Chains A and B, each alone.
Chain A
Amino acid sequence: MPPKLCALCNTSRPILKRPKTGQQICKSCFFLVFETEVHNTITESQLFQSGDRVAIGASGGKDSTVLAHIMKTLNDRYNYGLDLFLLSIDEGITGYRDDSLETVKQNQKEYNLPLKILSYSELYGWTMDDIVAQVGRKNNCTFCGVFRRQALDRGAAMLGVDHIVTGHNADDVAETVLMNIMRGDIARLGRCTAICTQGEDTIKRSKPFKYTYEKEIVMYAYFKKLTYFSTECIYSPDAYRGHARTFLKDLEAARPSAIIDIIHSGEAFEIRDEVKRGQKLQQTCKRCGYMSSNDLCKACTLLEGLERGMANAGITDKGVKQLNAAGPTPDNLRTIPFFQMNTVGNSGPSPSPNPWPLDSGPSG
């Protein structure tokens, strides 16, 4: 039987089978289609304009390492004209981030991109180690999750950046669609397949890897010999995402196009009008200006709790009551600096404690 040829170029010998399409292709064709598909995604959605300052959320993991590589490659090849930055968040957990931060520093050298590392201590005045010392191991993750989300936005504002790109891939998006249907999260369901999200007071965030299979990202890194440090998160079986993840993997094994098919389904529907009208409106936090559903955003509530020694404030109902019962916020507490979207290249907020006067404190 004559040896098979690459399904695309029909000249070289194939060395891999694409998880996305099943085609057997050679290495250079794989690089070409992988990169071109991301390029298509970027241009079709008109994500960027020439001159944009774009921060790549860099965790040192495979998605962000490959993302940094791809963004640099495409920016050069197609002359997007972008100013690229690497932005990394240091939670201040001894031994956890050290390796991944090393990878990010390496990326900086490899791609010659400016790097900003923003730490929790710089931003909030507390490292995760400090927080754990105060609250213990049970609820410490609540802080981390909330703080990290804000940190990316704040870091980007400090860099004077127009746009954040993250390494969310097709598997992530598909998983999120399933998860949001399962938990009835209509608000998130309406947003999660959008390639670019922007709130009124947050920086644009995009996912260039929206249609890229996780397996292919790994293959790309493997063949390009890119190094990354992977911290695998282990979800307890009781988390929605854990269930959705296992199910998604089974679906992919049954029919590889399932991942794309789910994303397509997610893009095909939207919320009914009468349901939209009933949704809670977004407002901004009275203290720090970040987007919030309530007067105080989650991060400010958590930080106040830490500062006043009531660690469960904002986490448990009992903690919230305790916080409110303890009276109005004293004036001398450390707060999160006011969050401001920069206009042109401004440096953003200064990370010193208490830069702005407080108003009336938490609503009773």
Chain B
Amino acid sequence: MSCENPTTDPDALMNRRPKFDKAKTCIKCKIAEGNIVIRHAVYCKDCFFPLLKTKFKRSLEPFVNRLPNGPRKKALNPSGNLLIGFSGGLGSTVLLDLVHKSYFSHRKPRESGGEVEAVPEQQETGAGDRYRDPRQERVWKKAAVCYVEVAGAFPGMKDRTEDIQRIVESYDDFEFVPLKIEDAFNGEWWESVDQCPSSSLLNFDISNEELPFFQSDSTRLTPLERLHTYLSRLPSPTAIPSTIRTLTRLLLLYTAHSTSSSHLLLGTSLTSLSISLIASVAMGGGFGVSEEVQEEWIPPRSGIEGRKEVGVRVVRPLRDVVNKECATWAWWNGLTVVGQETVPGFKQTIGGLTKDFIIGLERDYPSTVSAIARTCGKLTPKDEAGGQCVMCQRPAQRGMEIWKQRISVRSLADLEEAPSGIPIGTQENQPSLSPYLCYACHATMTSKSSRANPSSTNGPKLPTSTSDSKTVSNLVPLPVWVTARLFGPADKVQAEDPSREGSGDALRDGEVWRNVELGREEMRTAVKDFLLDQDE
């Protein structure tokens, strides 16, 4: 192998090209002087606007119809309504604006102070104009904007629902659907999205790698308290933002479903997409890497008789647009960006480290960000999925447990027999969650960090748990959709095929597994720091 010394292998060096090629003139109209540089290309203000709109439409319109277009372009005809996931961040704000300008109205948003009057649409180039015929009906008849407020999870964090509402309602035609992150633990919310409520609640034991679960007889905790308990017992700081993302995504998907929406649009920019792809790889989510870009979601069977489930297509129309372009659009269109609150301790999580890394790279090596997204776009899962993860509802691999046991010997019992994939550590007849999870979700719930959770002196805090009983400090409630999958309306375990081979009976065989509860210690870098005793 080459030593990758940069003076050897030209590929080993990242190309630090000059910021833009040659002239300062707009490369599109070739007349005006440029105002902005996007990925080495210079554009003037007048050319920038239609360019962004074109990119937006190109990433969205081929996916509006159920089936991909043939050689002749067909009219846009989605099978359901539109739901826009809105986080308050830069991408969401720009997305909302672009969707409204492109498919809803020619009126200026009230927020900017202009009068509500029709303004002529800007001159555009490109085939998108064919859909601009004002005599035609709108592409989507109904559109809603869903916002999930996260502030409840972190005491002291500001609730932004009202600010967000103002932004959304400044556009005509958008219905505002506010949710709270704790709705993930709320049976009433579950019912409101047309799902069958479970008659039981489930808790699982997070201290045991197998994650055995039990029926809970307590309904005393509020959804918010359940959320706090969940978050506070996760084994690493990284798990918290990762979990918030998963919960938010499922809340949006079920809302799309309940509003009969065929499409869920998210404002993920190319920059954000590259960040989430790398972070996902770093957390073991390689199997689902293509789902990060675009996915088709069908709700698992609801148990409601005679109901046909319609899928939701998740599209990211800004996936070819970098943060800088979004910021420029927002600034030149006078858009107000409410912004997102930072999860406390985010900077030291895998998500936060990845974000800093990518944003730092993007400034000096702009092509790296698009290389990441492009590379991941060429990948596909190697094996067939073995089922659906009950937590994130993405395809899950088979044989994850066998792989884990093989890689890391965690008990002497492992040495006696060949790893069999039979979950050890659970008692007889004890069902466990682990076979129903994908690798990444399992890692989120079990992979420990040696870092203590950060404590901040001011600003929002991490939640602390509310226990049912003081002795049972490792029990954690499950989000409503997980309970529904594992415990249907018939009150029996009726999960779909677990993500590993073997019947349910295999769950009951097992050996008692001794596990020493570990405290969290700081891990220092040198080898010597791992020694608890000097053994010279």
* A and B touching (Cβ–Cβ under 8 A): yes
Chain A residues with a Cβ under 8 A of chain B: 4-5, 7-10, 13-24, 27, 29, 32-33, 36-37, 40-41, 44, 138-139, 141-142, 144-146, 148-149, 166, 177-178, 180-186, 189, 211, 215, 218-219, 222-223, 233, 235-236, 238-241, 243, 247, 250-251, 253-258, 260-262, 264-272, 275
Q: A255 and B447: CB pair below 8 A? A: yes
Which chain A residues lie closer than 8 Å to B525 at the CB level? 253
Q: B286 and A141: CB pair below 8 A? A: no
Additional pairs, 14, CB under 8 Å, beyond known A254-B350, A269-B382: A7-B516, A17-B521, A148-B3, A149-B2, A181-B376, A182-B368, A189-B379, A233-B4, A238-B14, A240-B13, A241-B12, A255-B350, A270-B379, A272-B378
Which chain A residues lie closer than 8 Å to B378 at the CB level? 186, 271-272, 275
Which chain B residues lie closer than 8 Å to A177 at the CB level? 281
Partner of B375, one of A8, A10, A40, A181: A181
- Identify the closest chain A residue to B378 (Cβ): A275
Which chain A residues lie closer than 8 Å to B408 at the CB level? 20-21, 37, 211, 260
The B1-37 residues at the A interface (CB cut-off 8 A) are 1-9, 11-14, 16
Known: A10-B514, A265-B287, A271-B380. A22 touches B281 (CB 8 A): no
- Identify the closest chain A residue to B286 (Cβ): A265
Bound-state CA distance A22–B447 (Å) is 10
B490 at the interface (CB under 8 A from A): no
| Interface hub of A211, A247, A270 (most chain B Cβ within 10 A) | A247
Q: B527 and A222: CB pair below 8 A? A: yes
Q: B535 and A23: CB pair below 8 A? A: no
Which chain A residues lie closer than 8 Å to B4 at the CB level? 145, 233, 235, 239-241
- Identify the closest chain A residue to B516 (Cβ): A7
1/0 contact string of B94-110 vs chain A (CB within 8 Å)? 00000000000000000
Bound-state CA distance A33–B525 (Å) is 22
Which chain B residues lie closer than 8 Å to A8 at the CB level? 411-412
> How many contacting A-B pairs (Cβ < 8 A)?
236
Partner of A238, one of B13, B348, B379: B13
B236 to chain A, nearest CB (A): 5
| Interface hub of A19, A21, A186 (most chain B Cβ within 10 A) | A21
Which chain B residues lie closer than 8 Å to A181 at the CB level? 277-278, 281, 371-372, 375-376
Known: A219-B530, A255-B350. A272 touches B447 (CB 8 A): no
Bound-state CA distance A141–B353 (Å) is 33
A232 to chain B, nearest CB (A): 11
B119 at the interface (CB under 8 A from A): no
Bound-state CA distance A148–B5 (Å) is 13
- Identify the closest chain A residue to B518 (Cβ): A22
1/0 contact string of B396-410 vs chain A (CB within 8 Å)? 010000010011111
Please give me the 3 A-B residue pairs with the lowest Cβ-Cβ distance, nearest first.
Answer: A265-B286, A145-B2, A261-B284
Q: B284 and A243: CB pair below 8 A? A: no
B1 to chain A, nearest CB (A): 6
Partner of B7, one of A142, A182, A255: A142
Number of interface residues of B (CB under 8 A): 79
Bound-state CA distance A270–B350 (Å) is 24
B285 at the interface (CB under 8 A from A): yes
Which chain A residues lie closer than 8 Å to B286 at the CB level? 262, 264-269
Q: B449 and A233: CB pair below 8 A? A: no
B475 at the interface (CB under 8 A from A): no
Which chain A residues lie closer than 8 Å to B451 at the CB level? 253-254
Bound-state CA distance A15–B369 (Å) is 44
Partner of A257, one of B348, B412, B443, B518: B443
Q: B379 and A254: CB pair below 8 A? A: no
Bound-state CA distance A239–B406 (Å) is 34
| Interface hub of B349, B361, B409 (most chain A Cβ within 10 A) | B409
Q: B11 and A183: CB pair below 8 A? A: yes
Partner of B410, one of A23, A180, A271: A23
Bound-state CA distance A260–B283 (Å) is 9
1/0 contact string of B317-358 vs chain A (CB within 8 Å)? 000000000000000000000000000000011100110010
A198 to chain B, nearest CB (A): 15
Q: A239 and B12: CB pair below 8 A? A: yes
Bound-state CA distance A24–B286 (Å) is 30
Which chain A residues lie closer than 8 Å to B372 at the CB level? 181-182, 184
B381 at the interface (CB under 8 A from A): yes
Which chain B residues lie closer than 8 Å to A261 at the CB level? 282-284, 439-440, 443, 447
Partner of B285, one of A178, A239, A241, A265: A265
Which chain B residues lie closer than 8 Å to A253 at the CB level? 451, 523, 525
Which chain B residues lie closer than 8 Å to A189 at the CB level? 375, 379
A211 to chain B, nearest CB (A): 5
Partner of A256, one of B407, B449, B514: B449
Which chain B residues lie closer than 8 Å to A141 at the CB level? 3, 5, 7-8
Which chain B residues lie closer than 8 Å to A269 at the CB level? 286-287, 289, 379-382
Q: B280 and A265: CB pair below 8 A? A: yes
| Interface hub of A14, A145, A222 (most chain B Cβ within 10 A) | A145
Bound-state CA distance A11–B491 (Å) is 44
- Identify the closest chain A residue to B369 (Cβ): A182
Which chain A residues lie closer than 8 Å to B1 at the CB level? 148-149, 166
Known: A142-B9, A184-B375, A239-B4. A262 touches B281 (CB 8 A): yes
Q: A247 and B2: CB pair below 8 A? A: no
Partner of A265, one of B238, B281, B521: B281
B363 at the interface (CB under 8 A from A): no
Bound-state CA distance A247–B355 (Å) is 11
Which chain A residues lie closer than 8 Å to B158 at the CB level? none
| Interface hub of B284, B440, B530 (most chain A Cβ within 10 A) | B530
The B395-451 residues at the A interface (CB cut-off 8 A) are 397, 403, 406-412, 415, 419, 439-440, 443, 447-451
Bound-state CA distance A240–B361 (Å) is 11
7 pairs of residues in contact across A and B, judged by CB atoms under 8 Å: A181-B376, A250-B357, A255-B238, A255-B448, A268-B381, A269-B381, A272-B378
Q: B447 and A270: CB pair below 8 A? A: no
B179 to chain A, nearest CB (A): 29
B74 at the interface (CB under 8 A from A): no
Bound-state CA distance A264–B280 (Å) is 11
Which chain B residues lie closer than 8 Å to A222 at the CB level? 527
| Interface hub of A139, A211, A253, A262 (most chain B Cβ within 10 A) | A253
Q: B353 and A250: CB pair below 8 A? A: yes
